[in-house]
Structure 1
């Protein structure tokens, strides 16, 4: 009996290995641009897909014109002292950019490159999201809170918290990821309590909570409304119905049959570090710390393709995909990696 079980286990592992090998392959990009001499800490693509904002390590943040491969602006909080930009973002209308260094956020006018507002907070900033016009900010802070901030009035409107009840902890848990809905009525937060929460910003009420298998590191609203995307580090990425709270599907990077539950095996767990929806909202691209990019159908979560970005140096295997975007015509995908390389991938 033990011999039979061992044989079954070996066969199971063999099937898993074959599936994982078939999952993705290394692919050379169609175009490539160096955007950082050393590495980058954060990156974001502008809504019009013309620019990418890269937070360099120990250097000013730089706004790059992608196709022309030139720096449009270099931004830093203190002109006399270079710091590391740890979070970046854009307003949905593309007119405002934000950079964060330690405890300070600077809002920049895209048309001129000039600073519009400089905001300092009592603690360091972990992540940020901007409203449609850049007049509100949602900030995840290292004091285990997220604050919804009115930029014009210069005041905090809401303080959002993740208590430790979901992980049997007596203290609040760190919030890692934040997002604002296109309407500005709702917020998403993901935390170390392994939970993603949907908030009503008018009342401060928690409308939904989704438990994950690990800390939640990424959250997003579907642009057309009605759905949200959440992902756990070393776990899975899910697509949820906001109204019912039910899961629509889980993104499966391996070709494991959908009729079977995913095995509790490290190779079947993944971290999503970046995401973007196509202009028509029919497709989704995800980036991962394993230098992997995947293309999905939004309607059913079907994986259309997965590939691995090439390495800057062969002996340095780790490449975190920090930001991704579709071109406006939907014929290409842009990616920005932590090794300071921007790449363009034509969709075949």
Structure 2
């Protein structure tokens, strides 16, 4: 009888812990920057990658063909370090940012559209619309700034009273989601500057994401409060379920149909979640840079490709493809 009880307990523990394991076995791997990168972004379908390093500056890759498409070079004449990169939802444009300025690139022509400077705060995060004309910035002074680069229209969103850590712009440029150190995330209109929904957290909001069709939003803080919200109602759809005391994310992106969310952490982990239940579907351990201590890599971006694999992009300068378990 005692043996049966022990066997049952052992089986239960193994089953419970099974969901905590992270696989390091990838399906495909691309080492784009052997000495690591300070920023790295993927297109929505995971095919194209734009990576920055001090050694090679900005380089555009086609991961599907495993081919270097172009060396875009330096962002500004000072060769300042690029700390943020975003590729537009349609994959045509990209925005890159240092702490003081940002540039927009037409990836189809592999050339810069222009360089703009920011004088009243340091850039914490940035995003770009599908037509490459609208840019959203989050600054250290608590401002979120929306700029139409064609018309010159500039809108300052002033609801945050501390640093804006993370921003997301809808593909059509009409809606913005911003999160900051003031424990709030706001969904607001870039046409009027009016708040549509506010999401209050218990700690600093460090990551936000919008579903490309505007049906879902995601906000997470420095603790373990990470929530998928239904839009436009603002009702909570699911809260990510984890035994961890902290769920700090460095990247987040919805699948095209909104059924899944992929997140990355500053400690190499890539996780896929069910947006209806908040349960984790799968987890992967990204490869760190060789001989780094501790052996960790920041996950800068993650995406779902057309094979329904997860593609990760990290500070190790490495992209990896992960096959989801059935």
Query: What TM-score comes out, normalization by structure 2 length?
Result: 0.86
Match of 1:139 in 2: 137
* From 270, 275, 281, the counterpart of 1:298: 275
Q: Hey, what's the Cα distance between the residues in 2 that align with 1:251 and 1:54?
A: 30
Checking the alignment, whether the CA contact within 8 Å between 1:59 and 1:82 is kept in structure 2 is no
Match of 2:87 in 1: 90
Match of 1:54 in 2: 51
Q: Hey, what's the Cα distance between the residues in 1 that align with 2:250 and 2:64?
A: 24
Checking the alignment, whether the CA contact within 8 Å between 1:58 and 1:83 is kept in structure 2 is no
Q: Hey, what's the Cα distance between the residues in 2 that align with 1:16 and 1:190?
A: 37
Q: Hey, what's the Cα distance between the residues in 2 that align with 1:94 and 1:309?
A: 24
Correspondences of 1:132-281 after superposition (within 5 Å): 132-156=130-154, 158-163=155-160, 172-254=161-243, 267-281=244-258
Deviation at 1:42, TM superposition (A): 2.1
CA deviation vs aligned residue, 1:120-156 (integer Å, no higher than 9, x gap): 2214322111112111111112332111101002341
How many residues of Structure 1 are paired with residues of Structure 2 in the alignment? 311
Change (3 A) 1:301 1:235: closer
Change (3 A) 1:58 1:308: same
Match of 1:327 in 2: 305
Deviation at 1:18, TM superposition (A): 9.5
Q: 1:65 aligned to 2:59?
A: no
Structure 2, unaligned runs of 5 or more? 1-11
The root-mean-square deviation of aligned C-alpha atoms, in Å, is 2.4
Match of 1:30 in 2: 27
Structure 1, unaligned runs of 5 or more? 1-14, 164-171, 255-266
Q: Hey, what's the Cα distance between the residues in 2 that align with 1:247 and 1:23?
A: 25
Deviation at 1:200, TM superposition (A): 2.0
Q: Hey, what's the Cα distance between the residues in 1 that align with 2:37 and 2:197?
A: 34
Moved beyond 4 Å, runs of 4+ = 15-22
Query: What TM-score comes out, normalization by structure 1 length?
Result: 0.81
Correspondences of 1:282-321 after superposition (within 5 Å): 282-313=259-290, 315-321=293-299
Deviation at 1:193, TM superposition (A): 0.5
Checking the alignment, whether the CA contact within 8 Å between 2:303 and 2:310 is kept in structure 1 is yes
